[in-house]
Amino acid sequence: MRYDLHVPESRSLKAKRAAVRPIVDGIRHRFHLSVAEIDHQDQWQRTAIAVAVVAADHRHLTEVLDTVDRFVRGRPDIEVLEVTTSYLEE
């Protein structure tokens, strides 16, 4: 899952990272998922993060992604611009 985010209150890269770090760390530690900032590292008010999930069945995968989505959208200091979900199946 890829999130394109807007950080409207950010006036520097340091401020942007201060807003993005709790999201990335929260997903990593709370949900035990792989997550990284993947784009717009040099822009003050934009970022993109990607979350990777491996699950045994589709129902569990959907539950995890929905929970992560609520967590990201629940942040008051960011605006979700776009969410893209890709699936790899064996």
Residue 38 lies in a domain: yes
Residue 89 lies in a domain: no
Q: Is the pLDDT of residue 90 over 80?
A: no
Residue 73: domain span = 2-84
> CATH number, domain at 6?
3.30.70.1120
8-62 per-position pLDDT tens digit? 999 999 999 999 999 999 999 999 999 999 999 899 999 999 999 999 899 999 9
HEC secondary structure over 2-34: EEEEECCCCCCHHHHHHHHHHHHHHHHHHHCCE
Residue 30 lies in a domain: yes
DSSP secondary structure string for all residues of 38-52: EE-TT-SSEEEEEEE
Band of pLDDT at residue 89, cut at 50, 70 and 90: confident
Rounded to whole angstroms, the Cα distance separating 66 from 10 reads 27
Tally of domains in the chain = 1
Q: How far apart are the first and last CA of the chain?
A: 18
The pair phi, psi for residue 52, each rounded to 5°, is -115, 135
pTM of the model: 0.90
Residue 90 lies in a domain: no
